[in-house]
Amino acid sequence: EMAPLDGVVTLQGDITSPSTASAILSHFDGNLADMVLCDGAPDVTGMHDLDEYIQSQLLLSALRITTALLRPGGTMVAKVFRGENAPLLYAQLQVLFRQVSCCKPASSRNSSFEAFVVCRDFIGRQPEGSG
């Protein structure tokens, strides 16, 4: 549970669930966001490959919401687990954002694979029929 903050709406749910995505999108009522922050993480199993895969599925769900919600030029910051597939992930993000970088907070343990991907300058969606 998170303590209420003035001007902040909190939604708790499974980001991979369509009902959670709908709740997030409906809150914005067609308006676009300047920034999306995704700090979600799975319960780690200790099996790094599995943990990285599950985290990537959370990130894909966050991206589905982000691409519908973020204004062109906007920023997304998301938690990632760095592993052998990280370069592929960054390449995919570079299709959607003009600038993608990975940062590891100083407070994070050296042994942790956790990091944050900072994606700036969202390219936006192509209008339908313009492809």
> Among all residues, which ones are annotated catalytic?
79
Distance CA 36, CA 82 (A): 20
- Cα–Cα distances in angstroms (integers) from residue 50 to residues 29, 39, 53, 73, in the given order: 36, 18, 5, 33
Distance CA 38, CA 107 (A): 18
Which pair of structure tokens corresponds to residue 31? Answer: 């308006």
Which of 14, 26, 87, 98 lies closest to 57, judged by CA?
14
